[in-house]
A = this chain, B = another copy of it.
Amino acid sequence: MEGSQTSQDSVHPHPYVPKDLHLPGYVPCFLSQSNILSGYGSFFVILFALTWFFSGRLKKTKVDRLLIFWWAFTGLTHLILEGYFVFAPEFFKDNTGFYLAEVWKEYSKGDSRYAARDAAVVAVEGLTAVLEGPASLLAVYAIATGKSYNYILQFAVSLGQLYGTATYYITAILEGDNFSTNSFYYYAYYIGANFSWIVIPSIISIRCWRKISAAFRVQSQTRKTKVR
């Protein structure tokens, strides 16, 4: 009896695809989609204002100020939002309206593997939260203080983000790519919400690659000059 239960047996049927996904104890979202998104939007705007203000006082270039914001934004997203997911396997049972649980209940409409605790998703999110989260915040510090390792650190974290996103999509395709409630959630959440984590790490990786290659050209040029 227990083993053959489907979501229809629980008090609240879940909205996720595939329909036969077994999520006993599922509690629907308390917050509306617009409330959840405006929460994250407010975090984005406030963090931008704060980092822009402080990076201005450090007399950084505009590019560095934008990078400081990005690393603070992505680092806190990894640590708090994704960190919560990694260590809260039963978020879909939350009945308190806790914001972080609401986010993942909502996002699971775009990719039910989050609610289903798919091993590839948890592995990627685990590496992202535990390694890339703190490393992103270290990048804020490294750019702000002009550390010699700032480019290699930014490169490392960006590459990790790209590798994680690639693994995320490839495993979805291999498993049938049928985890979205409907095509709105497919494009808005599954594709749209991850899009920044393809474009921005790509741009940063290329920039760091060029800066690092240029530094070695300077180094070998300096040596040649000294030899003369």
Contact = CB atoms under 8 A, between A and B. Distances in A.
Contacts of A156: 155, 159
Interface string A117-161: 001101110110000000000000000000011111001100110
Contact of A166 (B127, B171, B217, B219): B127
A91 B68 CA distance: 48
Interface stretch (A178-186, A195-203, A208-216): A208-216
Tally of this chain's copies: 2
A209 B155 CA distance: 11
Contacts of A171: 119-120, 123
Instruction: Name A's interface SS.
Output: helix
Given A119-B175, A120-B120, A123-B167, A216 B213 contact: no
A97 B76 CA distance: 52
A148 B209 contact: no
A174 interface: yes
Given A127-B166, A155-B152, A171-B120, A218 B222 contact: yes
Nearest to A175: B119
Nearest to A149: B213
Interface in A5-63: none
A127 B163 contact: yes
A122 B174 contact: yes
A124 B170 CA distance: 9
Contacts of A217: 148
A220 interface: yes
